[in-house]
Structure 1
């Protein structure tokens, strides 16, 4: 039984004197077994062996009655600490396979308790020096730029933190990639991907996702509702076939970089102002006619919207009659958006999910689906960005911004003071 992981040895004796040795995790191999020549009937011969590249023979630690405590709260993250009595050391384990780590901790407990009857059921090998491949540090970065370099007969190293696969004509995401739980950067640009699996959301450490120059036209709901909304900081969807971006994308509030240029976008999500940490936004060469009002709440470093078909402004055309009252469907949908209730395709019919995706946001900050009225005004992008690329060949930096009103009260408030449009309460 052997486990490859990072190990840091901490001496508790130094801590009692207010000192700590300068150590760092070292790639190691941990195994449990018996001394060479020992029989299974003898007692006290179960040892923990820690081998490193500098010491492949390793250091043995007796297990019988020698384990003071095992800290396994983060075993699912491949982390654990084994506290020994003699010597007074803490063996800190990290970057281990969670399943293998859980198994080896179970055997350590049996060895400590001297449960020979249970140990007999486990195949314990004789302790031998580690091989070079077992103690060398596994790669954390991998780049594949052609089909001939794509791993077909071998697996991706589970320690990968950055994976770039380009120009390989991939039509779907390899399921082996979805098992790389340590991935922080995934680049699948310049392939032939037509859709993404929901299981991409299982990569909960992912901070950068680059999907430029593929054939994508939608983001799966499973990904939008995954933990990626908390971890993702950079998203590149440029050079695809998107006509709309889902409103759930604005729940990815840690996004700093967002690229959606060279698509077929007709509009941006109405609640885009939720992306309060967004600093770099590229949406050039699309078919945008106006920007949502919530865009005015952003604080960007750079924005590029060159090559869109922005239209002029209009003066508050009413879209509802005086006796308009929202339907029960709209009232329920407003509550779902207002309180940010979670839902999946198992909870609601697809037609209602599509309806929720059409939510618009009033200047007062409340959601609406059948707005009482709408307005369109010119807005200088310099008010939200430090660096602005010209919108056309003339270098214009002013774009139309469209807003919606949820009620007659908001309509009358805007009519009485049109110059206060940009001072309405923020969502």
Structure 2
């Protein structure tokens, strides 16, 4: 590395990314004749230390991590660097396979997992490691670092305190996902995200619609229409969840207000899914009230879909914002996967006229000869819901036969692929007159 102190990080004394790329270039050249393992070490929970003990303590911790890495890699000709934030890079020349690179990563994870004492406090952190093996996959310095970064992100997504070896196929998929995530904000601003509706229908014949479930579809200029399950999880990684939720709520209530002005009581009831991150937003109650007033709607005209765990705060009580909305008249439809979640509703006093079964409990019936245990489980849940005055519906219904079996057990409402495809607001108007609120 260069002897110039100007290029060294003031906290750790390590070079930065530019110097790292310069050192990597000859190691990665086609005629280098040897491999190099590039390890990116990310600290898990570093923000907690910084926010809890302050910036000076955080800097002391980073300096300690640098000392530990120097000690671990004191032999050979390793290249150490600090990247932005809490990420360190180690490039180790030599013939490395997955096993030997993994052993290096294990030694880093073990060493950094021991408590570090900062201002007399034994601070426990952990580390995740992403590994790129050059020689196995040729790359330029920036690509090698980016590939290790992709592997590091995968390690954190898988639960942290582990290492992941870069896989070009998975890496390409991850890169495409992250590229998609980066485009969400622009898509929202440019109008590429549109609200579409899918009906919840009354069984057995699906002739009556209880509500229209509103979701966002991304009309991507290159990839076509993207379902919400493809990009909503990515919104979490970029902090766009609340923005998407607000856009969905604003546009859905605008359309609902237009329907109510034109069709009166024949207007469809709208139902939309409330992300947990939006549910804990301190401004939720005011925002909902403002949008309802703006569109001439009452709280009872809004139905929110959520799951059992999303109703709860950290103490296991009903989230304050949801309690306020419930008392104001907003109706909740709660997704449940079994009896325990159903039993939450009376305990929390949630006004839910219906629950929607989802997941494995429904999937188990989509076979020619469904297991008796699965049938019995749903029947018990339906009976308990009846005692509570709650109707039972099902999501993910795949066929008319599937719907008929569920109806025979006692399920009265359904949604899923066997029903009409998603419709725009204008297309959904053709369903007006077939709607009847579930209550």
Task: Give the TM-score of the pair, scaled to structure 2.
Answer: 0.28
Instruction: Give the structure with the larger helix fraction.
Output: 2
Greater C-alpha radius of gyration = 1
Question: Greater RCO between the two (CA within 8 Å, min separation 6)?
Answer: 2
Task: Give the TM-score of the pair, scaled to structure 1.
Answer: 0.29
